[in-house]
Amino acid sequence: MAEINVKEINLADIPQQQLKDLLDFPCAFTFKVVGKNRPDLMDDVVVTTQKYAKGDYKPREHISSKGTYNSISIDIIAENIEQVETLYTELAKIEGVRMVL
């Protein structure tokens, strides 16, 4: 099986204009939210996402091997850079969230 290299982009490391140049809006955009494993984490991610990007979402979750953490990936159609930045900020405010990628 071939190994796939995925490069993660940290918004804080990229000047806003450069990020705008990388994305052609509207576009598909995936947020990955990592937090403490708790029953309502996925629901909280969906509710927060729907506040800023209306839609029906089918998030994917992966619980760590020890059951301590949960990562939730959710795909949106981003309309503009401000929407992406707002969602990064708001998703990070959810109880128990450790990082948003």
Question: Before 39, cis peptide (omega within 30)?
Answer: no
Task: Report H helices in the chain.
Answer: 16-22, 41-52, 81-92
Angle at alpha carbon of residue 95, lines to 49 and 42, rounded to 5°: 45
Per-residue confidence (pLDDT) for residue 97, from 0 to 100: 97
10-residue mean pLDDT profile of the chain (101 residues): values are 48 59 89 97 98 95 96 96 95 97 93
Q: Report pTM.
A: 0.80
Residue 56 sits in which domain range? 29-100
The answer to whether residue 95 sits within a structural domain is yes
Q: CATH code at 91? A: 3.30.70.260
Per-residue confidence (pLDDT) for residue 22, from 0 to 100: 80
Structurally, how many domains does the chain consist of? 1
The DSSP secondary-structure symbol of 59 reads -
